Amino acid sequence: MVTLKINEQEVKVAEGTTVLEAAKKLGVIIPTLCNHPDLCVAGNCRVCVVEQTGARTLIAACAMPVSEGMDIHTNSLKVRNARKHIVELLLSEHRADCTKCYKNQKCELQTLANEYSFGEHIFLDLVEDHSYSIDRSSPAFIKDDSKCIRCQRCVRTCSQLQHVSAIAVANKGAHMKISSFHDRPMSHVVCTNCGQCVNRCPTGALTEKTYIDQVWDAIYDPEKHVVVQTAPAVRVALGEDLGYDPGERVTGKMVTALRQLGFDSVLDTDFTADLTIIEEGTELLTRLKKVLVENDHSMALPMFTSCSPGWIKFIEHKYPQMLPNLSTCKSPQQMFGALAKTFYAQKRKLDPSKIVSVSIMPCTAKKYEADRPEMRSSGYKDIDFVLTTRELAVMIKQAGIDFRSLEPDNYDSIMGTSTGAGVIFGATGGVMEAALRTAYELVTGKPVPFKNLNIMPVRGMEGVKEATIKIEGTTEEWRFLEGAELKVAIAHGLVNANKIAKAVSTGKAQYHFIEIMACPGGCLGGGGQPIPTNAAIRQKRMEAIYSEDMHMDLRKSHENPEIIAIYNEFLEKPNGHKSHELLHTHYIERESY
């Protein structure tokens, strides 16, 4: 343990602790910008400089480890002057058109400016000296360099968490900037649109591309029937943007709010999550049979899940040779979209051209996914608009809804009923668990041999998880699987996905089924989720997801009565002709930059 003094108060902390962390322990707040708990220390922005008695210069609290006898002052004249200068310097490079900015009042630089830099600015405005550009090429997000403060959180996110490095620091000195490969449009580089950078950007330099106004227009258009679906992870995070603590489930209130916003039908992505399990589970069993029993290698193993559009784009860019290993199942969002303008339209006797399909997602990549040309199997754009959790919160605020006072309600029917298996799609390991709950039962006639159906080995925040499930007591049809050990793996965050993909592509790992989610923690840590998102918050959201699952009457996808019904009435059978037409897709190889 190390003893030091901060603002004359003594504190004992473990060796290796930073001054910033030690101060936090004392309740002393030191402002930061480039620092983020998910990322390595940068020490770039210098906003956290503090005075150490005897030191020649100020020190960056985020980057300085404590040492015995240190005497720190966080609020001396020298510190205040420097901090004010630093905030003003950042502002001088930043296009501060705050009232026009999507991040207005949610901007960390603005918060600091309010504290340190009100009144006349000291320094000259440098904004016009830089030839800043705004990149709107991605359907998922906007990169506005004029708002960038070069803290490099995005760069560290893209490399450390995602192993993508679609953006990097380029040039030096006054010309230093965050750039894609040779300034190419973000839509034409390896960017997966995962939005993890958006989630970590302290300013308006990286924001989701918002479709709020388009959704309002659709809602107010009397000609249009607007359906909305909500992804599993939204219900455990939306509350954070509406004044709740992380981890509070607000499913019922969210449904009421959506209805009050004017959506014609409030439906659930969890329904198509259940449907995904049936389709993907069947696909897996088919692949296992073809490859292992019939020795037909026209199908590839292991099979990777395909729910995460960030992961899909990652593999398309980085491991195109493994595209046959991807499940051909569309994501739950896109299955929903394809069914909304076919099955749902038929049932409700609606003209599909009059249906506007909106989805609320924890994700920015879903905006990109909805825009893929493959995603038009209904004959229309299957999903018209994708809003993030954050955007939904904005709409609720815009409509003047007092969220807390809402009475909870249930989803509408036809594609609104779901099971706990659908809910857990929102957490890393959830798709795997849901699939196992169904597949195991399908081949053995018995529930998975885990207490309360909770398959604990596939849960948790470990980056890469592995499990082996022994299949015993198979029914006649699945006798070929008797005694087989199903080897599965789960990864979340593309840095972990890459580890598995690399191991599989080099033959170093032997699995049958692999779940991959592009974002840390799975969808609950998605790029479209409330800001901030960090490990502690992800943990809370995960607990909420599993709690939601435990509170559901039905917890296995194949028991969802609407799923049973849709096969009877419309799809006929899993992986059947209609499924392939509407619910499955294909992938394309993309450039390596």
Partner 1 sequence: MKNKGLTKVDLIFESIDIMKVMKKAFEMTSDEIIQQILESGLKGRGGAGFPTGLKWKYTAAEKDPEKYIVCNADEGEPGTFKDREILDKVASKVYAGMTIAGKAMGARKGFIYLRGEYRFLLPQLFVELHKFHKLINEIGYDFSIEYRMGSGAYICGEESALFESIEGFRGEPRNKPPYPTVSGLFSKPTSINNVETLVTAVMIIEKGANEYFKLGTKDSRGSKVFSISGDTPIPGIFELELGMTVQEFVNEFGDGDTKAVQVGGASGFCVPRKKFGETIIGFEGVPTGGSMKLFNSSRSMYNLLHNYLDFFAEESCGQCTPCRVGCQQLLKGVEKVKKGEAKSTYLNELVKLADTMKVASKCGLGQSVGNAFKSIVENFREEIIY
Partner 2 sequence: MYQTGNMVKELAEKHGRKRESLMPILQEIVRKHNYLTDDVMVAVATELDISAAEVYGTASFYTFLDTQERGKNVIRVCKTITCSMKGKNDIVSTLEDILKIKVGETTPDKMFTLLETNCIGWCHKAPAILINDMPYTDLTPETVIDVVKGYMR
- DSSP code for 244: P
Q: What single letter denotes the amino acid at residue 323?
A: L
Q: How near is the Cβ of 163 to partner 2 at its closest, in Å?
A: 9
Q: How far is CA 558 from CA 214, 442, 551, 561, in A?
A: 36, 9, 18, 8
Q: Does 468 bind partner 2 (CB under 8 A)?
A: no
Q: How near is the Cβ of 591 to partner 2 at its closest, in Å?
A: 8
Per the CB < 8 A criterion, the answer to whether 488 and 458 are in contact is yes
Per the CB < 8 A criterion, the answer to whether 249 and 548 are in contact is yes
Residue 45 binds which entry of partner 1, partner 2, none, CB below 5-8 Å type-dependent: partner 1
Distance between CA atoms of residues 207 and 107, nearest Å: 11
Residue 261 binds which entry of partner 2, partner 1, none, CB below 5-8 Å type-dependent: none
Distance between CA atoms of residues 144 and 124, nearest Å: 21
Q: How near is the Cβ of 182 to partner 2 at its closest, in Å?
A: 5
Closest to partner 1 by CB, 64 or 335? 64
**Cβ neighbours of residue 193 closer than 8 Å, sequence gap 6 or more:** 138, 139, 140, 141, 309, 310, 313, 364, 365, 367, 368, 527
Number of residues that bind partner 2 (CB under 8 A): 19
Active-site residue flag, 374: yes
- With tokens 């309360």, the residue in question is 452
Active-site residue flag, 191: no
Taking residue 15's Cβ as centre, other Cβ atoms within 10 Å add up to 10
Binding site residues, partner 1, CB under 8 A: 41-47, 49, 57-58, 60, 63-65, 78, 81-82, 85-86, 89-90, 92-93, 122-124, 126, 129, 149-150, 152, 169, 171-176
Q: How near is the Cβ of 510 to partner 2 at its closest, in Å?
A: 23
Q: What percent helix, strand, coil does the chain show, rounded to 5?
A: 45, 15, 45
Active-site residue flag, 283: yes
**Cβ neighbours of residue 510 closer than 8 Å, sequence gap 6 or more:** 302, 487
Stretch that binds partner 2, among 74-82, 134-142, 179-187, 482-490 (CB under 8 A): 179-187
Farthest CA pair distance, the chain: 81
Q: Which of 161, 167, 234, 392 binds partner 2 (CB under 8 A)?
A: 167
- With tokens 């593309």, the residue in question is 494
Active-site residue flag, 559: no
Closest to partner 1 by CB, 122 or 134? 122
Q: Which of 523, 540, 556, 562 is catalytic?
A: 523
Per the CB < 8 A criterion, the answer to whether 247 and 240 are in contact is no
Distance between CA atoms of residues 285 and 282, nearest Å: 5
Backbone angles phi, psi at 422, to 5 degrees: -70, -40
Closest to partner 1 by CB, 150 or 512? 150
Strand partners, 388: 361
Q: Which of 159, 180, 306, 327 is catalytic?
A: 327
Distance between CA atoms of residues 73 and 58, nearest Å: 10
Q: How near is the Cβ of 256 to partner 2 at its closest, in Å?
A: 44
Residue 46 binds which entry of partner 1, partner 2, none, CB below 5-8 Å type-dependent: partner 1
**Cβ neighbours of residue 557 closer than 8 Å, sequence gap 6 or more:** 273, 274, 275, 277, 278, 281, 419, 421, 422, 434, 437, 438, 563
Residue 592 binds which entry of partner 1, partner 2, none, CB below 5-8 Å type-dependent: partner 2
Q: How near is the Cβ of 149 to partner 1 at its closest, in Å?
A: 8
Closest to partner 1 by CB, 59 or 514? 59
Q: How far is CA 292 from CA 23, 287, 288, 332, 543, in A?
A: 59, 8, 6, 28, 37
Per the CB < 8 A criterion, the answer to whether 88 and 96 are in contact is no
Stretch that binds partner 2, among 173-181, 293-301, 370-378, 461-469 (CB under 8 A): 173-181
Q: Which of 13, 19, 189, 571 binds partner 2 (CB under 8 A)?
A: 189
Q: How near is the Cβ of 365 to partner 2 at its closest, in Å?
A: 18
Per the CB < 8 A criterion, the answer to whether 516 and 491 are in contact is yes
Q: Which of 89, 98, 169, 300 binds partner 2 (CB under 8 A)?
A: 169
Per DSSP, the three-state class of 245 is: coil
Closest to partner 1 by CB, 75 or 92? 92
- With tokens 């199997």, the residue in question is 377
Strand partners, 514: 304, 489
Residue 90 binds which entry of partner 1, partner 2, none, CB below 5-8 Å type-dependent: partner 1
Stretch that binds partner 2, among 27-35, 181-189, 209-217, 547-555 (CB under 8 A): 181-189
Active-site residue flag, 108: no
Distance between CA atoms of residues 585 and 562, nearest Å: 23
Q: How near is the Cβ of 367 to partner 2 at its closest, in Å?
A: 22
Q: Does 190 bind partner 2 (CB under 8 A)?
A: yes
Q: Does 518 bind partner 2 (CB under 8 A)?
A: no
Closest to partner 1 by CB, 1 or 124? 124
Strand partners, 130: none
Q: How near is the Cβ of 315 to partner 2 at its closest, in Å?
A: 15
Q: Does 166 bind partner 2 (CB under 8 A)?
A: yes
Q: Which of 108, 280, 316, 391 is catalytic?
A: 280
Stretch that binds partner 2, among 48-56, 175-183, 226-234, 299-307 (CB under 8 A): 175-183
Span 530-589, contacts to partner 2 by CB under 8 A: none
Active-site residue flag, 366: yes
Closest to partner 2 by CB, 179 or 575? 179
Distance between CA atoms of residues 197 and 161, nearest Å: 10
| CA dihedral of residues 41, 533, 96, 51 (deg, nearest 10) | -40
Which two tokens mark 338? 């394809």
Q: How near is the Cβ of 57 to partner 1 at its closest, in Å?
A: 5
Closest to partner 1 by CB, 169 or 471? 169
Closest to partner 2 by CB, 159 or 378? 159
Active site residues: 280, 283, 307, 327, 366, 369, 374, 523
Which residues would be at the binding site for partner 2 (CB under 8 A)? Answer: 159, 164-172, 179-182, 189-190, 591-593
